A = this chain, B = another copy of it.
Amino acid sequence: MYAPMARVATTSDVFNAIAEPQRRDILALLRAGERPVTELAEALGMTQPGASKHLRVLREVGLVRDRKAGKQRLYGLDARKLRAVHEWTGGFEAFWNDSFDRLDAYVQDLKAANGKKEE
């Protein structure tokens, strides 16, 4: 009937998939090539079911692909969808590079007043 219409499922999109640090780690590791689940799990210090679950999310959004190889299942990177994120953030490039409006003034202000901020 009414129902507070709570949260919307978000695990099905790339932005959310890479919001999880461990999943980013998996993707980064896969740049070196295909890897079986157990190897990923061990390399990243996570349990096998944990790795499987993260891989499932990554697979469902299309960031990785899997391939059977005997007993194992090799996961490989499919970075095409990361391009969308790269381009989205790229749309803000003008705002972190060069001065714009009062942002620049504000930033200068911060630097002057705060010194170093670390990054």
Contacts and interface: CB of A to CB of B under 8 A. Distances in A.
Chain A binding site: helix, strand, loop or mixed by DSSP?
helix
A88 B33 contact: no
A92 interface: yes
Interface of A: 10, 13, 15-16, 18-21, 24, 27-28, 31-34, 39, 65, 67, 69, 76-86, 88-93, 95-96, 99, 101-103, 106-107, 110, 116, 118-119
Nearest to A27: B92
Identical copies in the complex: 2
A13 B21 CA distance: 10
A97 B77 CA distance: 12
Given A16-B19, A91-B28, A83 B96 contact: yes
A118 B78 contact: no
B99 A89 contact: no
Nearest to A33: B106
Contacts of A77: 92, 95, 99, 103
A32 to B, nearest CB: 7
Nearest to A111: B69
Nearest to A83: B96
Given A18-B15, A89-B85, A79 B65 contact: no
